């Protein structure tokens, strides 16, 4: 289906020789927001790593943003990742350069050459996350919430169809978490990007309800009405 940004059918996910998730069937549509929940060690990160090409897929069928993960090799992974945005819990900003240069580093790494186009794109993504004036700041001069916004701006650089967010509110206070969630939902709504967000934070889920997928006992349970513990 054209509208399906992620499609997994009968997928087994391994870490080395260990089977982590078995017979995964999951579809995420364009512009859909999906929470990925589950206890630590139940396979949330392994599922995300499979989707962005960090863990090879050997069993089952999976397409992500039009890429067949069974046919994925290390040469193709960068092309897959150009269509994805990844948001981390710990920001992973380069501490030795300012915000603009952090973003420019990613653009260069993904094949951009034209300086003027790069500058325009950086202004555009900083504007989207409400930090247009912060391009010349160093990461240590920013609050945690601002650093997470920069991380989201970085994820938006290549206009991704899919954003994978791994515990993006994990290191933030409740008020800042709310701001980041509002921003993520806005990106989903305004730019039609699909978002899969791994989280432990049921307070966030209660406040910003969306479809939920749970990893549990080697399975992925897809049920938007799963009761929250």
Alpha helices in the chain (DSSP H): 44-51, 77-82, 99-109, 115-128, 144-156, 174-191, 202-207
How much is the pLDDT for 226? 44
Residues in the chain where the model's pLDDT stays below 70: 1-2, 223-229
CA distance 76 to 203: 38
How much is the pLDDT for 81? 86
How much is the pLDDT for 2? 62
Calculate the dihedral angle through the C-alpha atoms of 87, 93, 98, 104, rounding to the nearest 10 degrees.
Answer: -60
**Which among 158, 90, 89 is positioned nearest to 122, based on CA atoms?**
158
Express each pLDDT in 74-107 by its tens digit.
888 888 888 999 987 777 789 999 999 999 999 9
Q: Is 155 left (phi over 0), alpha (psi -120 to 50) or beta?
A: alpha
- Distances in whole angstroms, Cα of residue 57 to Cα of each of 15, 47, 49, 77, 108: 10, 10, 10, 12, 28
pTM for this entry: 0.91
Beta strand pairing call for 33-37 and 211-216: parallel
CATH 3.40.50.300 holds for 4-219: yes
Give the number of other Cβ atoms within 10 Å of residue 180's Cβ: 22
Boundaries of every domain in the chain: 4-219
């Amino acid at each position: 289906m054209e509208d399906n940004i992620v499609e997994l059918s009968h997928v087994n996910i391994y870490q080395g020789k260990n089977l982590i998730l078995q017979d995964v069937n999951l579809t995420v549509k364009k512009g859909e927001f999906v929470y990925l929940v589950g206890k630590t060690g139940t396979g949330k990160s392994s599922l995300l790593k499979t989707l962005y090409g960090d863990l090879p897929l050997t069993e089952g069928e999976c397409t992500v943003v039009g890429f067949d993960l069974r046919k994925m090799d290390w040469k193709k992974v960068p092309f897959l990742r150009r269509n994805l945005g990844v948001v981390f819990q710990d920001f992973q900003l380069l501490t030795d350069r300012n915000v603009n240069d952090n973003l420019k580093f990613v653009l260069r790494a993904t094949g951009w050459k034209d300086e003027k186009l790069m500058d325009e794109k950086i202004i555009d993504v900083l504007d989207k996350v409400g930090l247009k004036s912060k391009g010349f700041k160093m990461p240590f001069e920013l609050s945690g919430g601002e650093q997470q916004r920069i991380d989201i701006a970085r994820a938006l650089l290549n206009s991704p169809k899919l954003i994978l967010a791994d515990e993006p509110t994990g290191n933030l206070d409740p008020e800042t978490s709310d701001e980041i969630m509002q921003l993520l939902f806005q990106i989903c709504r305004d730019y039609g990007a699909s978002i899969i967000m791994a989280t432990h934070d049921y307070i966030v889920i209660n406040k910003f309800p969306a479809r939920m997928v749970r990893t549990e006992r080697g399975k992925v349970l897809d049920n938007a009405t799963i009761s929250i513990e």
